[in-house]
Amino acid sequence: MVVTGASRGIGAATARLAGERGYAVCVNYVQNEDAANSVVGAITEKGGRAIAVPADVASEAEVMRLFESADRELGPLTALVNNAGILETGMRLDEMEGGRFNRVFATNITGSFLCAREAVRRMSTRRGGKGGAIVNLSSIAACLGGPNEYIDYAASKGAIDTMTIGLAKEVADEGIRVNAVRPGLIYTDIHASGGFPDRVDKLKDTGVPMKRGGYPEEVARAILWLLSDEASYTTGSFIDVAGGR
């Protein structure tokens, strides 16, 4: 399994759970090598196999190197979790500068497309592969729009929803299932990147029917279910892990 953006948050929780369930895991990261190595250590301490590989998913060359490293060190790919994503400081659209769109879309959209492409090239029975599964990380923001905060981020996740549906149909008869998870207000470090480290606690009582924030492990369990044989007849589908939002 390749998990992008796996040094923290949902990606790290997914990588750890995947290791517990028998996957050999490629833990992708961009900058925080220590955090990525900590995830690898948590997997190997329990008898699993894992490697940490630095790569910016917005770069085609680095994505190709990421998958080549996983091939070489872990063997044939059977699962991809397209988790890497960024957001920038929360603000209205009319306050945003153009470079921001390029950065957010390059990681959140182009990065997911590049990684999915490399996964399909390896897993498709049409190309000699043995099949597999892809789970894309969308967001409940794709449904809500992210007004006054992250319209660009929400739009990027809307693109992931569309890609999930289209790719699922494209490779459905090639042994590959493609699904997505839409997390809601989850306790992760990404909120600090947007300038609101306490965002979950501020919004949980008014914005979440369950009146609490979610945890990365709760999202990871949905991801692992979609990757598992228990979801063998599920493709082009979405699981909202958002407390009822």
Considering the chain, what is the average pLDDT of its residues? Answer: 96
**Residue 198: which pLDDT band, with cuts at 50, 70 and 90?**
confident
- C-alpha distance from residue 186 to each of 47, 48, 134, 180, 240 (Å): 29, 27, 22, 16, 12
pLDDT in tens, 160-186: 999 999 999 999 999 999 999 999 999
What is the b/e burial string over 148-157, where b = at least 16 CB atoms within 10 angstroms of the residue's CB? Answer: ebbbbbbbbb
Q: What angle do CA 234, 237, 243 make, to 5 degrees?
A: 120
Residue ranges of the domains in the chain?
Answer: 2-241
Task: Please state the pTM of the whole predicted model.
Answer: 0.96
**Which member of 23, 29, 150, 153 is catalytic?**
153
**Partners of 3 in the beta sheet?**
27, 81
Alpha-carbon distance 87 to 180, whole Å? 19
R_g of the chain, CA atoms, integer Å: 17
Assess contact for 137 and 85: CB atoms under 8 A. yes
Q: What is the mean pLDDT of residues 84-100?
A: 97
Q: Quickly name the fold that domain 2-241 has.
A: Rossmann fold (3.40.50)
Report the length, in residues, of the chain.
245
Does the pLDDT at position 158 exceed 90? yes
- Indicate if 153 belongs to the active site: yes
